[in-house]
Amino acid sequence: MHILLSKLLRECDQHALWIADENSKALLVTGIEFAGHLLSNRWDIVCTATAIGIPASFSDFDLASHETKFSRIVYPVSKEKAIVHHVINSAVETLEDSGELLLIGEKSSGIKTYAQKAALRLGSSKQLQKHGSDYLSIHRFNASAAGVPLDDSGYTSLRQPEILGGLWSKPGLFGWNKIDVGSALLADQLCAELPSDNTGALNIVDLGCGYGYLSARVAALASSPEQWRIQATDNNAAAIRACRDNFRALGINGSVTAGDAGSEIASDSADLLLCNPPFHQGFQVEGDLTERFLQQAARILRTDGKAYFVVNEFIPIPRKAAGLFRNVNLLAKEKGFCVYRLSEL
């Protein structure tokens, strides 16, 4: 995909918009020629683009917030159908009349179906080209023939899935309509782990917070909630939106910020850190993600602080955490997950 994508991006002028999710990261890291504007729901992608001089904005695929219209939108399709439908729908409001939407994807991405749907929505003909294992679908927007919006599962709206017991969430974030089994296991350990007199001040970090499940569970254990401050952080714009709503709804004392594995959080600032690190990034499994989260946890934690990590049981935390934490204790092993306590003292 990257050869085709870089060729298309090179041909763009400053009126083009590149919608980049995690699958575009590799291209930015190796360097790319692109004169337009990048939009991503990933904080690390926006930072990487900005660092190499590409103007970029961070949002939950909020194309409509751009004041100018674009002559071309280049979009390697995302994994999640609701996002793809939302972007195709938004292209109608964001493209100039006769502007182009370019969809790129491998056969397994559903590109052929998206090409048909985009043609109807944009009032364009269907033009699908094969480039090696990739497909490129080109749509010229015709406002007078535009069709009805695609079903995007109400992409922009927050909602309260019954299973989340009152927490807000939305499509576009990891496991948005379920409680992660590993996270539940980690949260179940916390009651026994917190100081028995838990009325004192505590700075807590929720690293890779998602919609804020771990923050909500730990906040529920506070005897004096005003004494505890929770800083939740995530790379994903949808997660930040949902988590902020949950902090507001639950009256959690703290903040929700965007960062790359907690890059924005001060060193030596946390007494307690909770983390269920991401495993998959885009279509690949990114091997070093767990290590990066462990390194950042070691940086953020105070010397007398404790970090709690939950991971799939086959991830060798004791080996990965060696040299970062003096003590690595297994607290629970259940349902394919392991919960570890990591500390220096």
Ligand X SMILES: C[S@@+](CC[C@H](N)C(=O)[O-])C[C@H]1O[C@@H](n2cnc3c(N)ncnc32)[C@H](O)[C@@H]1O
Q: Which residues bind ligand X (CB under 6 A)?
A: 44, 173-174, 180, 183, 208-210, 213-214, 234-236, 239, 260-261, 276, 278
CB of 170 to ligand X, least distance (A): 12
CA 306 to chain centre: 25
| Helix ranges (DSSP H) in 13-57 | 25-30, 43-51
* Buried-exposed string 247-263: b where 16+ CB fall within 10 A, e elsewhere: beebebbbebbbbbbbb
**Residues in Cβ contact with 96 at an 8 Å cutoff, skipping those fewer than 6 apart:** 15, 69, 70, 71, 141
Closest CA to 312 of 329, 341, 294, 290: 290
C-beta of 285 vs 345, nearer to ligand X: 285
CB of 343 to ligand X, least distance (A): 20
Residue holding tokens 């499994």?
A: 285
C-beta of 137 vs 290, nearer to ligand X: 290
Residue 220 CB neighbours (<10 A): 13
C-beta of 35 vs 184, nearer to ligand X: 184
CB of 292 to ligand X, least distance (A): 7
CB of 144 to ligand X, least distance (A): 40
CB of 242 to ligand X, least distance (A): 10
Classify 51 as helix, strand or coil.
helix
Task: Please say whether the beta carbons of 6 and 27 come within 8 A.
Answer: yes
C-beta of 111 vs 338, nearer to ligand X: 338
C-beta of 166 vs 200, nearer to ligand X: 166
CB of 94 to ligand X, least distance (A): 25
CB of 103 to ligand X, least distance (A): 24
Q: Which H or E run contains 82?
A: helix 81-94
C-beta of 44 vs 271, nearer to ligand X: 44
C-alpha triplet 164, 206, 159: angle, nearest 5° = 30
C-beta of 36 vs 210, nearer to ligand X: 210
Distance CA 157, CA 244 (A): 14
